[in-house]
Chains A and B, each alone.
Chain A
């Protein structure tokens, strides 16, 4: 359930709306559910609404853990 994709906030349009970009595709969505959204933030977008902000540091940490797990097994 809940098709949602990460997108970057490009412009605040006022009235709780913002223009977002995901991989070169842009759309006006509501950011009224997330506090203090700023231009440049990445948000998770679902049915035309941002649901949460994406934390860049945490994302990097997750990738680091993945790389670490993948590297532990040296391919034979």
Chain B
């Protein structure tokens, strides 16, 4: 596939890996957070970490909307779906996310709720049109990538005067979350040296919104594509910035991301949504101005208003370390539940649910690395 295969070339990968190895300063450690789950996935799936020098550590960030959605909101979605009038449309990713008391959308569906997996907001609109007797609620999640499609769907519903369509909005904002992580850093040892910045979120918002990371926190950001060579090139760019004592927002994903982003998509978001005062993130807690809700002009399509939803915060398992893991302060293996009580089959925490969650990624792929490292160390000693 064009614009895919070129960026997965194993020969180039070897060369770039050698370049990174040649340029890193052996006397120091590099701790980079890849913010997005998409990067986490690419790193795990293609085995990128195997190709990095030992003193380059990749920290898996909170850029997975499934992982950061708090339990209380999933509880709300399940309550909504249990209303016999409601057809709840959701991206399949959310089906297995654990809610309170062992519930999930998958289990709610088994118990009789009308929950349908859709690929696109367009599918949800189609269902609303085809089944006018049903209250069709779209469970909207995601960062600035998924938000413009929701905005367009709401506008279309308004244009078509669809009375049975509404949106349960859980759209969250990337730069605010990034700031929350950087502002929360207290420990020198776990401080980040740089950030691999979002790919597709940045196609919408552009490179500009990350400037505060360089200006206020003195850390480099490289916006990176999601193919494995993109990630490796971005790591090389970060290493170079650090070695040269620079910190700037650089763009590796220039083929799809511009400085100012997609103005059209930004306009659609601005038209339909407004900032919420505060929103709870799994792992980060309440973060001010970090999420969107439907603007007054579209209030008729707001499922929270239509169904009178009042979210009650629900606690995670107290032993679950998802919060510290999402912030990069702890590794999956630091959590007592990891691989024992919490596994991809029976996820306790959010990081284990999505295949992009850092625990799931480590469980599925990372263990290989631990093992091959252990083997190498045995061979060396």
Contacts and interface: CB of A to CB of B under 8 A. Distances in A.
Interface of A: 1-6, 8, 22-23, 29-30, 32-35, 42, 44, 46-49, 51-56, 58-59, 61-63, 65-67, 69-73, 75
B129 interface: no
Interface residues of B, number: 55
A59 B60 CA distance: 26
A48 B124 CA distance: 12
B16 interface: yes
B149 A46 contact: yes
B143 A54 contact: no
A3 to B, nearest CB: 7
Contacts, number: 147
B181 to A, nearest CB: 15
Given A52-B262, A73-B22, 10 more contacts: A1-B145, A2-B226, A6-B2, A6-B3, A34-B262, A51-B204, A54-B3, A62-B225, A66-B16, A75-B15
Interface string B293-308: 0000000000000000
A25 B36 CA distance: 26
A32 B264 CA distance: 9
A20 to B, nearest CB: 12
B142 A33 contact: no
Interface of B: 1-4, 6-7, 11-12, 14-16, 18-19, 22, 36-38, 63-65, 91, 119-123, 142-143, 145-146, 148-149, 152, 198-201, 203-204, 225-226, 229-230, 233, 236, 252, 254-257, 262, 264-265, 268, 356
Contacts of B265: 33-34, 51
B121 A72 contact: no
Contact of B148 (A49, A63, A67): A49
B3 A42 contact: yes
A18 to B, nearest CB: 13
Given A1-B38, A2-B145, A70 B203 contact: no
A66 B12 contact: yes
A18 B123 CA distance: 16
A3 B3 CA distance: 15
A29 to B, nearest CB: 8
Contacts of A54: 3, 255-256
A58 B16 CA distance: 19
A70 B120 contact: no
Nearest to B240: A69
A7 to B, nearest CB: 9
Contact of B254 (A44, A47, A61): A61
Given A35-B264, A47-B121, A52-B203, A65 B2 contact: no
A33 B152 contact: yes
Contacts of A66: 12, 16, 229, 233
B200 A46 contact: yes
Contacts of B19: 69-70, 72-73
A51 B199 contact: no
Question: Which 9 A/B pairs are nearest by Cβ-Cβ distance?
Answer: A70-B15, A48-B120, A73-B18, A6-B3, A23-B1, A52-B203, A59-B255, A2-B145, A2-B200
